Every structure is written in structure tokens, then in C-alpha cells.
Amino acid sequence: MYNFEFEKPSTIADAVAALATEDAQALGGGQTLIPTLKQRLAAPSKLVSMGGIAEMQGVCVDDDGSVSVGGATPHVAVARDAAGSYPALAALAGQIGDPAVRNRGTIGGSVANNDPAACYPAGVLGSGATVVTNARQIAADDFFQGMFTTALDEGEIITSIRFPVPQAASYQKFLQPASRFALVGVYLARFTDGVRVAVTGASEDGVFRWSEAEQALNKEFRPDALMDLRINPANMIADLHGSKEYRAHLVSVMTKRAVEACM
């Protein structure tokens, strides 16, 4: 790992100022970033820790009923503190990595990284959440822009993520047991005005909405509504854990399971 400067500000304003240095990078829990640095795949001049910013910690329920999660909130806290207000999101957080990883890894870090097999991007996109930064609010549909790519500008910090709470939701993760990422994960959320289906782990373009499944489920909300639908395997990820066709098949299976879980 190349060396870097380190700062740990206690306010968002100080963090934004610290990130103005050329090649500075924000550090969440470091559960992806530190391994990346060890492999010398990144060489920031400075890391700015989000861990000392109290206003970016915790889960709260807003006046309109939506659930806001601070950008530096670790997975363990979401699994515990959102269990009452948004159980499907809490369940997703409780399936990330392993206990020690969940004690350090943060929602902001995961979402900003946008790993194509990470769990949180599916939860954020499936919920139609709003990513709140130090500068603006970004709808999930505009935020994720392909594998490891997001709408964030240089030095922009995810301060919180606001989730509208659906009538029912479920995250179905087909675990890749060595990495503990999703081989395929499907987050399904059913709102009064429609169903959203977000898929992670499957596509070379990163997390995506399966709109054909959403349309079918809006007509008829039962697993059989998906019977004739197939995902085109052409854009699916292929690696030693699964072929394109296997992943495409898993998307259907996991979506059906999510529907069953919401009935």
C-alpha cells in the first residue's frame, strides 16, 4: 500500500474542505477501500475518514415516515436500528459480509463504491431512495451509472440516504460463499403506486431495474406472473462462479422468491 495523509474531521464542512486536496478520497469503513489500496489499485494522496462525523451516524424516521440512514452508519447499526422501521432494509444490512465487516463497513461507502455485486445498491435502487450529499439530492434512478460508477462528483460526500418505506419488501440474496457478496441479489419493493425490482450481482452494467418484471407484477402480484419472463443473458457477468445463463436464470428465481416473501 502506498502511503497517504490522513484526516478525520468532525463536521461535514471540514470533510468537504479536506477533500478539496488533489487526489484526496473519502474513507468510510474501509472494508473495500483498504484491500483496494493494498493491491495498489488506488493511490490517494489523502484519506479523509467519515468516522468522526456525528451528524452522519444513525437511523431515524422522518416526519413523512421515510427512513433516513446517515452516510457513515455501519451495517451493524442499520441491521439493528432499522429492524422496526424498515425490516427488509435491516435484513439486507444483516447479510452483508460477516459480523466483523458489518461492524466497520458503512452504507455511504458501499453505495459510493457501487460494486456490481454489493447488496446496498439493490436496496437503494429497489426502494427508490434518495441519495443526499453535501451538495444536493440525487434520485436512486439517476445515481447508479454502471459498474463502480455513480453520479457523485469529485469530493462529494453521501451524508445520508432517505428511503421511502414500501408496503412490503424483500431482499433475496444468492450468496457467493467465499466473497460473501451476492452472486445474484434481488430487492423487491411493493408501493401503493407500483412495484420496483432491483438486481445486483448479475449485470456487467452494475445494479439495474428489471422493468419487465415490474410491469408484470404491477398487473398481477404473484410469482407466476414472472413465468414467461426471461432476462437476456448477453449483458450478464460471467466468472468462475457462474455463467451468464446461470446468472440470468438466478435473477428469475430470486425475483420469484422475493414476490413470495412479500405475499
Partner 1 sequence: MKISMTVNGKAVSGEVEGRTLLSGFLREQLSLTGTHVGCDTAQCGACVVHVNGQAVKSCNMLAVEADGADVGTIEGQANADGSLNVIQQAFQDHHGLQCGFCTPGMVMSAAALLKDNPRPSEAEIRKYLEGNLCRCTGYHNIVKAIMAASGQDVGSIAAE
- Binding residues for partner 1 (CB under 8 A): 1-6, 8, 27, 30-31, 34-35, 37-38, 46-47, 49, 51, 76, 97-101, 103-104, 178, 180
Closest C-alpha among 183, 215, 172, 182 to residue 196: 215
Eight-class DSSP state of 153: P
How many C-beta neighbours within 10 Å does residue 84 have?
11
Query: Residue 127: CB partners within 8 Å, gap ≥ 6?
Result: 89, 140, 163, 164, 166, 169, 187, 189, 196
Helix (H) or strand (E) holding 89: helix 87-93
SS3 call for 234? helix
Least separation in angstroms between residue 203's CB and partner 1 is 25
Comparison of 162 and 180: residue with beta carbon closer to partner 1 = 180
Least separation in angstroms between residue 70's CB and partner 1 is 17
Distance of alpha carbon 8 from alpha carbon 47, whole angstroms: 8
SS3 call for 60? strand
Question: Please, are residues 25 and 46 in contact by the beta-carbon 8 Å criterion?
Answer: yes
Least separation in angstroms between residue 121's CB and partner 1 is 20
Set of cell numbers at residue 197: 425490482
Eight-class DSSP state of 248: H
Comparison of 36 and 218: residue with beta carbon closer to partner 1 = 36
Cα 226 → chain centroid = 24
Comparison of 180 and 249: residue with beta carbon closer to partner 1 = 180
Comparison of 2 and 148: residue with beta carbon closer to partner 1 = 2
Least separation in angstroms between residue 5's CB and partner 1 is 6
Eight-class DSSP state of 152: P
Comparison of 74 and 206: residue with beta carbon closer to partner 1 = 74
Comparison of 6 and 148: residue with beta carbon closer to partner 1 = 6
